[in-house]
Amino acid sequence: MSPVLPLALPGLPVARIVEIAAFDGQRVQIRGWLYGKRSKGKLHFLQVRDGSGLIQAVMFKGDVDDATFAAAETLPQESSVLVGGTVKADARAPSGFELACDTLVVVAAAQPDYPIAPKEHGTAFLMDHRHLWLRSRRQHAILTVRARIVKAIRDFFDGRGFLLLDTPIFTPNACEGTSTLFETDYHGQKAYLSQSGQLYSEATAMAFGRVYTFGPTFRAEKSKTRRHLTEFWMVEPEQAYLDLDGTMELAEDLLCAICADVLHDCGAALDTIDSIRSEAEEHRQLRPRREALAAVRKPFPRMHHRDAIAQLQALGSDIGAGDDLGGDDETVLTQRQETPILVHHYPAAVKAFYMKRDPGDAERSLSVDVLAPEGYGEIVGGGQREDDHDTLQNAIRHHGLPESAFDWYLDLRKYGSVPHAGFGLGLERTVAWVCGLPHVRETAAFPRLMDRLRP
Ligand code: 4AD
Ligand code: MG
């Protein structure tokens, strides 16, 4: 029979560290793990984490029996523990409180070789141990911010009358070009993992007016860059009777809401992230994240693609008038910005088949990319959709896409077509910018990259 692990100390209220202030002066128990410890004479200082936060439990030799005091001395990092004691306000503690410990029950002693020591590890090592690395303070803070951003996004769209309608992950057709499709066998038929829910959201927008889809999307990216994952989350609003200007305003408002919500609720997490940076990160001299987010205000600068090219050329780039912006170009454009910028009217030739052409300039599309400041670059892509049946049909042919897979999509232009627009915001890139991270890999609990499928 396997041993029965204790669930709690009997008769003592359970406090979660994040809510510890509500228990000031009371005797409580914390159920968690030993994060670290230090000893000095008759005192052990135990850093205990419970998933919601970190607190120091101070164990005085005279307050516990000898066996408990001795056990604490040798207890390995990440051992699971039930800690009883009295909550005491302490201005020096990061959480503002300490626990005067009088009880320690070891739930399961960890093996003494916990791989994530407080020294700096290489990225590959940490990624291989992602399942344990998640327990570290900085990773905890980043993923807390991610969850808050998800909530901010949902609150924003729910509050504006957008209906959440999830789109399928198995699809018979490409949305964002055929070069990054993950193909899979679907009962003898070819299927692809969704690159974007947009085409389906256009259908739901014609049924519900304002919709959004928010879920995982997949790209068989061949690029190993700091901004590319093969699986990432994207929120995609789509609205009937909306044009390019309207979609730019929507993206602007969304980003302001995200920054305000994170600032309001995640200040401590941002400080934690700021306080634990690798040498390479410190080298970049990013602004403290609270300051950076507070600077994000409407209106964001709007820049025609033509002007973006001119600016890059003036800075010595050999980029051509008809070129797309590459990651490095975006970095140059946004390096000195405090707020995101909206680059619009990209050449139609570099954008997807569904983009509406500018009625005044057929070479240009009614498209917009939002580039995050401080060198981060593209976090949003979107624009107005082609609403004319024949033009869209020609575009599908011109892009060499199989028309038979898009018959349902063309129906939307046959039965009550309207101007409509929307965009996709990449969650991980947004988290990377908000937290000031050098790479998207830390923004997902278990990121999927070109060369990483484990753990
Ligand atoms: O610019 P993209 O490709 O646009 C679309 O997919 C549209 N169908 C969206 C729409 O209009 N509904 O992708 C949108 C965003 C990018 O701006 C970026 O933030 C993110 O998705 N993204 C990625 N994030 C991480 N890794 C990748 N490989 C990404 N590819 C795109
Ligand atoms: Mg894009």
pLDDT in tens, the chain (455 residues): 788 999 999 999 999 999 999 999 999 999 999 999 999 999 999 999 999 999 999 999 999 999 999 999 999 999 999 999 999 999 988 889 999 999 999 999 999 999 998 777 899 999 999 999 999 999 999 999 999 999 999 999 999 999 999 999 999 988 888 889 999 999 999 999 999 999 999 999 999 999 999 999 999 988 889 999 999 999 999 999 999 999 999 999 999 999 999 999 999 999 999 999 887 777 778 899 999 999 999 999 999 999 999 999 999 999 999 999 999 999 999 999 999 999 999 999 999 999 999 999 999 999 999 999 999 999 999 999 999 999 999 999 999 998 998 999 999 999 999 999 999 999 999 999 999 999 999 999 999 999 999 99
The predicted structure's pLDDT at residue 120: 79
Cα 244 from Cα 366, distance rounded (Å): 6
Give the closest ligand to the alpha carbon of residue 431.
1
CA of 195 to the centre of ligand 1 (A): 8
351, 344 contact by CB (below 8 A): no
Strands 97-108 and 54-60: parallel
Instruction: Phi first, then psi: give them for residue 35, nearest 5 degrees.
Output: -90, -30
Q: Is the CB of 157 under 6 A from ligand 1?
A: no
Give the number of the atom of ligand 1 that is nearest the alpha carbon of residue 430: 19
The residue nearest atom 20 of ligand 1, judged by CA position, is 426
The predicted structure's pLDDT at residue 2: 86
CA of 357 to the centre of ligand 2 (A): 17
For ligand 1, pick from 176, 194, 234 the residue to mutate: most ligand atoms within 8 Å of CB. 234
Q: Is the CB of 221 under 6 A from ligand 1?
A: yes
CA of 236 to the centre of ligand 1 (A): 9
Give the number of the atom of ligand 1 that is nearest the alpha carbon of residue 201: 12
Q: Is the CB of 422 under 6 A from ligand 1?
A: yes
Residue among 363, 318, 326 nearest 343 (CA): 326
The residue nearest atom 7 of ligand 1, judged by CA position, is 424
CA of 196 to the centre of ligand 2 (A): 11
The predicted structure's pLDDT at residue 176: 86
For ligand 1, pick from 232, 353, 437, 449 the residue to mutate: most ligand atoms within 8 Å of CB. 232
Instruction: Phi first, then psi: give them for residue 311, nearest 5 degrees.
Output: -65, -40
Q: How far is CA 43 from CA 34, 82, 173, 406, in A?
A: 16, 18, 65, 71
The predicted structure's pLDDT at residue 222: 87
Q: Is the CB of 380 under 6 A from ligand 1?
A: yes
The type of residue at 126 is: L
